Amino acid sequence: MPDLLIEIGTEEIPAGYIEPALADMGRKLAEFFDKGRVAAGTPQVMGTPRRLVVHIPDVDSRQKDVVETYQGPNVKVAYDADGNPTKAAIGFAKGKGVDIADLTTETTAKGEVICARVEIKGQSTVSILNEYLPQWIADISFPKKMRWGSRKIPFVRPVHWVAALFDGKKLKFEFEGIKAGNTSQGHRFLNPQKFKFDSLKSYLSECKKHKVMVDPAERRQSILDQIKAIAKEVKGEVREDPDLLDTVTHLVEFPVAVRGEFDKAYLELPKELLVITMKVHQKYFPVWKGDQLLPYFITISNMQAKGKDIPRGNQRVLKARLEDARFFYDEDRKRKLEDFVEELKGVVFQKDLGTSYEKLMRIVTLTGTIAQKVCPESETTAKRAALLSKADLVSQMVFEFPELQGIMGGYYAEHSGEGPEVALAIKEHYRPAFAGDAVPSSPAGAVVAVADKLDTIVGCIGVGLIPSGSEDPYALRRHALGIMQILSEYDFSLDLAWLIDRGIQTLGKKARLSHEEIFGHCKALFSQRFKSMLAGEGYEYDVIDAVLATQISSFKNAEGKVQALSELKKQDYFEDLATAFKRVNRIIEGDVPASIKQELLKEEAEKALFRKFEEIHSTVKDHTLAGQYSEALAKIVEIKGEVDDFFDHVMVNVDDAALKANRMALLKSIADLFSPLADFSKIVPKKN
DSSP-assigned states of every residue in 138-163: HT---S--B--TT-SS-BSS-EEEEE
Cα 19 to the center of its chain, rounded Å: 17
Q: Check residue 582 and give its pLDDT.
A: 85
| Residue 194 β-bridge partners | 185
Question: What is the three-class DSSP state of 55?
Answer: strand
Q: Where are the alpha helices (DSSP H) in 282-374?
A: 282, 309-332, 356-374
Q: Shortest CA distance to 122 belongs to which of 57, 39, 41? A: 39
Q: Are residues 359 and 403 in the same domain?
A: yes
Q: What is the rounded distance in angstroms from the CA atom of residue 144 to the CA atom of residue 141?
A: 9
What value does the mean pLDDT take over residues 463-473? 87
Average pLDDT, the chain: 93
Q: Are residues 273 and 133 in the same domain?
A: no
Q: Check residue 112 and give its pLDDT.
A: 93
- Domain at 594, CATH number: 1.10.730
The values of phi and psi at residue 450, to 5°, are: -65, -45
Q: Check residue 266 and give its pLDDT.
A: 96
pTM over 0.85: no
Q: Check residue 594 and give its pLDDT.
A: 83
Considering the domain boundaries, does residue 339 fall inside one?
Answer: no
Q: What is the rounded distance in angstroms from the CA atom of residue 320 to the CA atom of residue 114?
A: 83
Cα 673 to the center of its chain, rounded Å: 37
**Contact call for residues 652 and 667 (beta carbons, < 8 A):** yes
Considering the domain boundaries, does residue 544 fall inside one?
Answer: no
Q: Are residues 389 and 507 in the same domain?
A: yes
Q: Check residue 299 and give its pLDDT.
A: 96
Q: Are residues 176 and 319 in the same domain?
A: no
Looking at residue 85, what DSSP letter applies? Answer: B
Q: Shortest CA distance to 180 belongs to which of 3, 6, 32, 43? A: 6
Q: Are residues 40 and 115 in the same domain?
A: no
**Contact call for residues 242 and 299 (beta carbons, < 8 A):** no
Q: Are residues 445 and 399 in the same domain?
A: yes
Q: Shortest CA distance to 85 belongs to which of 128, 121, 114, 46? A: 114
Contacts of 627 (CB under 8 A, 6+ apart): 557, 560
Tens digit of each residue's pLDDT (9 = 90 or more) over 197-230:
999 999 999 999 999 999 999 999 999 999 999 9
| Rg, the chain, Cα only | 35
**Contact call for residues 433 and 452 (beta carbons, < 8 A):** no
130 has a pLDDT exceeding 70: yes
Q: Are residues 415 and 564 in the same domain?
A: no
Cα 688 to the center of its chain, rounded Å: 32
Q: Check residue 479 and give its pLDDT.
A: 96
Contacts of 434 (CB under 8 A, 6+ apart): 478
Tens digit of each residue's pLDDT (9 = 90 or more) over 133-177:
999 999 999 999 999 999 999 999 999 999 999 999 999 999 999
Q: What is the rounded distance in angstroms from the CA atom of residue 510 to the CA atom of residue 620?
A: 45
Considering the domain boundaries, does residue 653 fall inside one?
Answer: yes
Q: Check residue 264 and give its pLDDT.
A: 96
Q: Check residue 174 and give its pLDDT.
A: 96
687 has a pLDDT exceeding 70: no
**In which band, very low, low, confident or very high, does the pLDDT at 556 lie, cut at 50, 70 and 90?**
confident
Tens digit of each residue's pLDDT (9 = 90 or more) over 595-636:
898 888 889 998 999 999 999 999 999 998 888 999 999 999
Considering the domain boundaries, does residue 547 fall inside one?
Answer: no
Peptide bond into 57 cis (omega under 30): no
Q: What is the rounded distance in angstroms from the CA atom of residue 452 to the CA atom of residue 522?
A: 15
Tens digit of each residue's pLDDT (9 = 90 or more) over 72-102:
999 999 999 888 999 999 999 999 989 999 9
The percent helix, strand, coil of the chain (3-state, each to 5) is 55, 15, 30
Determine how many CB atoms are found less than 10 A away from the CB of residue 305.
14
Q: Is 53 left (phi over 0), alpha (psi -120 to 50) or beta?
A: beta
Determine how many CB atoms are found less than 10 A away from the CB of residue 428.
24
Q: Which domain holds residue 10?
A: 4-62+124-209
Final residue belonging to a domain, choices 120, 141, 166: 120
473 has a pLDDT exceeding 90: no
Q: Are residues 268 and 373 in the same domain?
A: no
Considering the domain boundaries, does residue 328 fall inside one?
Answer: yes
Tell me how far CA of residue 422 lies from CA of 344, 399, 432, in angstroms. 20, 22, 18
Q: Are residues 303 and 415 in the same domain?
A: no
In this structure, which amino acid lies at residue 640? K
Q: Check residue 201 and give its pLDDT.
A: 97
470 has a pLDDT exceeding 80: no
Listed ranges 82-91, 417-426, 472-481, 547-556; the one with the highest mean pLDDT: 417-426
DSSP-assigned states of every residue in 545-565: HHHHTS--S-HHHHHHHHHHH
**Contact call for residues 206 and 184 (beta carbons, < 8 A):** yes
Q: What is the rounded distance in angstroms from the CA atom of residue 381 to the CA atom of residue 556?
A: 25
Looking at residue 626, what DSSP letter applies? Answer: T
Final residue belonging to a domain, choices 185, 209, 233: 209
Q: Where are the alpha helices (DSSP H) in 192-342?
A: 200-209, 216-233, 242-249, 271-276, 282, 309-332
Q: Are residues 86 and 186 in the same domain?
A: no
**In which band, very low, low, confident or very high, does the pLDDT at 688 lie, cut at 50, 70 and 90?**
very low
Q: What is the rounded distance in angstroms from the CA atom of residue 394 to the CA atom of residue 401?
A: 11
Q: Check residue 307 and give its pLDDT.
A: 64
Q: Are strands 169-170 and 174-175 parallel, antiparallel or unpaired?
A: unpaired
Q: Shortest CA distance to 163 belongs to which of 36, 73, 55, 70? A: 55
What value does the mean pLDDT take over residues 371-393? 97
User: b/e map of 234-268 (b: 16 or more CB within 10 Å)?
Assistant: eebebeeeeebbbbbbbbbbbbbbbbbebeeebee
Q: Of residues 337 and 595, which shows the higher confidence score?
A: 337
Q: Are residues 390 and 445 in the same domain?
A: yes
Q: What is the rounded distance in angstroms from the CA atom of residue 106 to the CA atom of residue 596?
A: 71
Q: Of residues 547 and 181, which shows the higher confidence score?
A: 181
Q: Are residues 182 and 231 in the same domain?
A: no
Sign of CA dihedral 167, 169, 171, 172: negative
Tens digit of each residue's pLDDT (9 = 90 or more) over 354-379:
999 999 999 999 999 999 999 999 99
What value does the mean pLDDT take over residues 193-198? 96
Question: What is the three-class DSSP state of 51?
Answer: strand
What is the tally of structural domains in the chain? 5
Q: What is the rounded distance in angstroms from the CA atom of residue 119 to the CA atom of residue 142?
A: 40
Considering the domain boundaries, does residue 638 fall inside one?
Answer: yes
- Domain at 513, CATH number: 1.10.3210
Q: Shortest CA distance to 632 belongs to which of 688, 550, 519? A: 550
Cα 307 to the center of its chain, rounded Å: 45
Report the share of the chain in percent with pLDDT over 70. 99
Contacts of 378 (CB under 8 A, 6+ apart): 371, 421, 442, 443, 444, 447
Q: Check residue 242 and give its pLDDT.
A: 94
What value does the mean pLDDT take over residues 266-283? 94
| Residue 162 β-bridge partners | 8
Considering the domain boundaries, does residue 687 fall inside one?
Answer: no
Q: Of residues 538 and 518, which shows the higher confidence score?
A: 518
Final residue belonging to a domain, choices 209, 238, 258: 209
Considering the domain boundaries, does residue 337 fall inside one?
Answer: no
**Contact call for residues 655 and 526 (beta carbons, < 8 A):** no
